[in-house]
Chain A
Amino acid sequence: MSQTINARANISKGNTYAYYAAPSNNSDALFRAWGKALSDAMAYVGLIKTNDSGQIDWNTVATPAAVNTLQGYEIWRFNDALQSSNPVYFRIDYGSQSGNKLYPRIDLQVGHGSNGSGTLTGLLSASFTVAIAAYGATLCPCFVSSDSGRINVAMFTTGVTNSTMLFYIERLKDDSGNPTASGVNIVTAAAARLQQLLPSNGSAYPASAMTGVQAAVPPSGNGSYGVNLGLFPILPNLGYAGNPDLGGIVHFSADTGSVGGITITVNLYGQNHTYITANTLAANNVGGNSTSNSIAIRYE
């Protein structure tokens, strides 16, 4: 099976890259397909793959032969003007979920540099496991976007139940929504949701990533009221709730549909921003509210 069968060519240009892939490690080709497609997308949207030695070779890597196995890594970095004052590097490992080797998984860690051989340096985030609890042969839409100073990834937004993998890394915002060099907020979501702040100085906060995301959702209900549908930006945890991220927005499935992949436009900081909704996530509780919900990921 060739890669082109399982990862169609991109269908959009610029800061965005959309493709299809099957959420499956059921063959070498399938594993390579979803992994390489993500890798290609990150390069396409302007991130820089470092020259660290020992990075995964998509031509030769084999699918995980066991559960909970990582087959290789890549190191990427931002490429924006703030990179000089607050460099952001992240390591992404590709492999299998802890309970089933066929279920895709990535591990994500963010730092401020790398040692040239795959080890992040400087202040480090937690290592985020973004693993799904399903697999399937269906080609599912995936969306990646960046402006070189962020990365927003929504994989398998619809098509195979419980297969959605989401993550973003975005710089903290000022009052007008402009990126700052004070740190990044990291959010991941799949079978679990995690959030952590990695500041430019100090230490990651909290020391262990929060299980769940910080958003001002209602404690009950689905956020609809009359003609209004509620969407809830994720807030970095600076002790207090920081200025909203642009990277992801919590949405209730009853309002936007339990099937993801829908484009929505949201005005934040006085400007319209584009998001892609995702299937209802397996880890549902947000802000104490267990009404079915998911996270829409910035795509622009």
Chain B
Amino acid sequence: MATSTYAAYPSNSSDARFRAWGKALSDALAAVGLVKTDDVGQIDWATVTRPLSVTLSMGYEVWRFNDALHSSDPIFFRISYGSGAATTSPCIWVTVGHATDHAGNFIGMTSREFTIRCGGYRDANTYNCYISSDGGRINILLFANVGSGVSALVFSIERLKDTSGNPLATGVNIITGDSTARYQQLLPALGSPRAAMATYQCGAPPSGDGTYGTTVGVFPILPNIGYAGNPDLGALCYFTANIAGEITVVAQLYGTNHTYITAGAMATGSTAIGGNTTDNSLAVRYE
């Protein structure tokens, strides 16, 4: 398992700032063991300029998993870099599929294109970003604890798990979170993708903040296979009143300790998990 952390400004206020956060993420994806494909037309971090209008992608990259299961269930994802609701606000778009045409287009079944965007920008301070992988997953937390006005950005792609928590070649679960939206979607190896759901499937209580005596609840996200599948390891839901942002949390899942970083306050809009609107967020796997 590999991790990469770095600090970046959540900002497109200059070409340098845009390139800095984008290239840092790209470098981190390589550093944790993913493979950048040879698709033509991928973004050139040396020359790309910042977006000059809103909701504008300035280029993309295609990455793939690099684990033993990749031969039976290949996982590729395209990540595009640009601007959100303001030209200065970072935004990425992520789509997951099983193959590309070497020109940046997917072949066959894909997930939806997830928009993951900041609600604003910050030029005064950098914020830490946490990336981890074992070659067969990707867990990303950008701009941890930047606050709900900008919002940390989260996405996680992990293979479905067996009852012991081992990865399977049956598909991946995709989780995203940002300033305005949350999504979860299953992309199976065969068949058709589940519709993306506009929040997470987890066992959160319908009310309250998940504390009970000295116990603080965190809630694994479950892939929607019709029934609730074996829990993802990629991210945990938690209530923000209980755990501060950018805190390392160790949670035991499948009998093994796993390490997570809390994102801090995220969405300012619809935030319900399990029908519970108590302020909550995601902790992202980092190990």
Q: A residues within 8 Å of B by Cβ? A: 195, 197, 202, 205-206, 210-221, 223-226, 228-232, 235, 237-241, 285-289
17 further interface pairs, Cβ-Cβ under 8 Å (given A218-B224, A287-B201)? A197-B212, A206-B207, A214-B203, A214-B274, A218-B201, A219-B184, A219-B274, A230-B225, A230-B227, A235-B203, A237-B212, A237-B217, A238-B217, A239-B217, A240-B210, A240-B219, A285-B275
Note all chain B residues with C-beta closer than 8 A to A224.
226
Cα distance, A221 to B226, chains bound together (Å): 9
Residue of B nearest to A242 (CB): B203
Check if B208 sits within 8 Å of A230, measured CB to CB.
no
- Is B25 interfacial (CB-CB < 8 Å)? no
Smallest CB separation, B242 vs chain A (Å) = 9
Give the contact stretch, choosing among B41-49, B127-135, B191-199.
B191-199
Check if B224 sits within 8 Å of A225, measured CB to CB.
yes
Cα distance, A215 to B227, chains bound together (Å): 11
Note all chain A residues with C-beta closer than 8 A to B207.
206, 210-212
- From known contacts A215-B203, A240-B219, A288-B199, infer whether A206 and B226 are also in contact, taking CB-CB under 8 Å: no
Number of A-B residue pairs, CB cutoff 8 Å, is 116
Check if A220 sits within 8 Å of B227, measured CB to CB.
no
Check if B197 sits within 8 Å of A221, measured CB to CB.
yes
Give B202-219 as 1s and 0s: 1 = Cβ < 8 Å from A's Cβ atoms: 111111101111011111
Residue of B nearest to A244 (CB): B203
- Is B282 interfacial (CB-CB < 8 Å)? no
Note all chain A residues with C-beta closer than 8 A to B114.
none
Smallest CB separation, B154 vs chain A (Å) = 17
Check if B205 sits within 8 Å of A214, measured CB to CB.
yes
- Is B222 interfacial (CB-CB < 8 Å)? yes
Give the contacting residue for A202; candidates B200, B204, B213, B218; CB below 8 A.
Answer: B213
- Is B58 interfacial (CB-CB < 8 Å)? no
Cα distance, A238 to B184, chains bound together (Å): 25
Residue of A nearest to B207 (CB): A210
Note all chain A residues with C-beta closer than 8 A to B205.
210, 214, 237, 241
Check if B191 sits within 8 Å of A219, measured CB to CB.
no
Check if B225 sits within 8 Å of A216, measured CB to CB.
no
Smallest CB separation, A174 vs chain B (Å) = 14
Query: Most chain-B Cβ atoms within 10 A of its Cβ — which of A214, A218, A232?
Result: A218
Note all chain A residues with C-beta closer than 8 A to B250.
none
Check if A288 sits within 8 Å of B227, measured CB to CB.
no
Smallest CB separation, A98 vs chain B (Å) = 22
Count residues of B near A (Cβ-Cβ below 8 Å). Answer: 37
Give the contacting residue for A241; candidates B184, B198, B217; CB below 8 A.
Answer: B217
- From known contacts A221-B195, A240-B217, A286-B275, infer whether A213 and B206 are also in contact, taking CB-CB under 8 Å: yes
- From known contacts A220-B197, A226-B191, infer whether A210 and B212 are also in contact, taking CB-CB under 8 Å: no
- Is B228 interfacial (CB-CB < 8 Å)? yes
Give the contacting residue for B212; candidates A195, A239, A286, A287; CB below 8 A.
Answer: A239
Smallest CB separation, A291 vs chain B (Å) = 12
- From known contacts A229-B226, A232-B228, infer whether A219 and B213 are also in contact, taking CB-CB under 8 Å: no
Note all chain A residues with C-beta closer than 8 A to B210.
239-240
Note all chain A residues with C-beta closer than 8 A to B211.
239
Smallest CB separation, A250 vs chain B (Å) = 10
- From known contacts A230-B226, A238-B212, infer whether A214 and B201 are also in contact, taking CB-CB under 8 Å: no
- Is B272 interfacial (CB-CB < 8 Å)? yes
Check if A211 sits within 8 Å of B226, measured CB to CB.
no
Residue of A nearest to B276 (CB): A288
Give the contacting residue for A211; candidates B206, B215, B218, B225; CB below 8 A.
Answer: B206
Note all chain A residues with C-beta closer than 8 A to B208.
206, 210, 237
Cα distance, A122 to B206, chains bound together (Å): 27
Give the contacting residue for B201; candidates A213, A216, A285; CB below 8 A.
Answer: A216
Cα distance, A212 to B272, chains bound together (Å): 14
Give 18 A-B contacts (CB < 8 Å), ordered by A residue. Answer: A197-B212, A206-B208, A210-B208, A214-B205, A216-B201, A218-B228, A219-B200, A219-B201, A220-B195, A220-B197, A223-B224, A228-B225, A228-B227, A230-B225, A237-B205, A240-B217, A286-B275, A287-B274
Note all chain A residues with C-beta closer than 8 A to B274.
214, 216-217, 219, 287-288
Smallest CB separation, B172 vs chain A (Å) = 15
Note all chain B residues with C-beta closer than 8 A to A212.
206-207, 275
Note all chain B residues with C-beta closer than 8 A to A240.
210, 215-219
Give B104-128 as 1s and 0s: 1 = Cβ < 8 Å from A's Cβ atoms: 0000000000000000000000000
Cα distance, A214 to B219, chains bound together (Å): 12
Check if A223 sits within 8 Å of B275, measured CB to CB.
no
Check if A226 sits within 8 Å of B219, measured CB to CB.
no
